[in-house]
Every structure is written in structure tokens, then in C-alpha cells.
A and B are shown apart, each in its own frame.
Chain A
């Protein structure tokens, strides 16, 4: 296992721009999760996929946010018309998808919106 990878690790953008993050889960992990972590807080759930199906979205995920997992492997998270309040660490995690399974986290993408 190479672990969960995320790209880019850091992103600085100007308010109003669109950004896209990528997550590559551990191979053969069916479930993929996105979380957001702001400074001094614990991560908060955004959305999750079972294979290519997006099965749950948090109320935190406004309509400016969209996530995809087109072939049930890697996933992308896009933020349109970024706002300063979107500045955070975006974390991806994957799990095998059976009961009681641990989620394995990537290193995160740190977004700063100026």
C-alpha cells in the first residue's frame, strides 16, 4: 500500500477563482471521504463515496462545492468562486468499506484564499 495521496499539498488562490483538489485512495478501498479542517478544530465531514456513487453530503458542502469519483478510484473536489472562508485543510480518507473499518487519511491540501 502506498497510502492515500493528495495533490496539491498547498494552494494559494485569489477570491473568486476556482480550485480543484485530487485524492488517490489506497488501491481497492471502496470508500472515499472528504473532510475539512480549520485551524484549531477537528476535521468535519464533507462527503463520501462508495465506489463511484456519492452517497452522502454534509450541509457544509454548499453548491459551490462539487466532488466526483468517476471510476471509483481517484476523486476530485472542486470549489467554485472561492471565498476567504474556504481557507482550510482539505483531507481525504479511504477505507475498505466493510463494517468497523478504519479510515486512512492523506496528508491534506492546505488552501489559502486571499
Chain B
């Protein structure tokens, strides 16, 4: 079945550091790929998405590129801020049927000033 594996945390960085959170997936067909973020005390929010190979999703300075050849969707940001501290989830959904989301286990990111 479909699955998502993402970089284990927690990850701790200093402000303005470069961020990469790795995400790889296993799926039949061509899923859509997502990064969701969960800030402390809040619900899951969509951060960015990509729906086909070589698409780049971007939002709030974060980027991720749908790489079909490596089945990856790594999250990157050039300069992190304290306000980026949160838990980040990589997810996929199949195109047909339920389009249910399959999530990775999450990566907790802490940014120190």
C-alpha cells in the first residue's frame, strides 16, 4: 500500500539557518504530494502541495519539488525563523476514490533565536 517516510526529528536549528526535511514515498500510480504544518496548539494547515512530477510547491519561503525518479518531496527553506517552529508532516493522496491522505510520522522543528 501507499506509505510516506520522513526524516526523524526532532530537528533544532538556529535562526537564519538552512532547513531540509526529507520525505520519500511509496505509491502506486501518481499521487499528489503535500506538506502540512501543525503549530503549537493549532490544527493541521496545508503548507504547500504538488500534483505532478517536477512540480514545485512553495509558500511562506518553503519549497518542495515532486521528484518521481527518486520518489521524494523534500521540504526546504533558505532562512528559518523562530516562528517556523512546528511539527511538519509529509503526506500523499491517491488520485481516485477517497483521495485519503497518508501521512508520515511528522518532524518536530525547533528554531532557536
Which chain A residues have a beta carbon within 8 Å of chain B's beta carbons?
4, 31, 33, 35, 40-45, 48, 55-56, 91, 93, 95, 99-108
Contact = CB atoms under 8 A, between A and B. Distances in A.
A43 B103 contact: yes
Contacts of A42: 4, 89, 91, 103-106
Given A40-B106, A105-B44, 8 more contacts: A4-B43, A40-B105, A43-B101, A56-B97, A95-B99, A100-B95, A102-B34, A103-B101
B46 A104 contact: yes
B102 interface: yes
Interface residues of B, number: 25
Contacts, number: 58
B100 A43 contact: no
A91 B36 CA distance: 14
Nearest to B32: A100
B24 interface: no
Contact of A105 (B45, B93, B102, B105): B45
Contact of B105 (A4, A41, A102): A41
B42 interface: yes
A105 B43 contact: yes
A15 B106 CA distance: 29
B43 A91 contact: yes
Contacts of B42: 107
Nearest to A49: B98
A103 B93 CA distance: 10
18 contacts: A42-B105, A43-B44, A43-B89, A43-B101, A45-B101, A45-B102, A48-B100, A56-B98, A91-B44, A93-B44, A95-B99, A99-B95, A99-B99, A102-B34, A102-B49, A103-B46, A105-B45, A106-B43
Nearest first, the 3 closest Cβ-Cβ pairs linking A and B are A42-B103, A105-B44, A107-B43
B43 A56 contact: no
A104 B43 CA distance: 10
B106 A41 contact: yes
A44 to B, nearest CB: 7
A99 B65 CA distance: 20
Contact of A45 (B36, B46, B100): B100
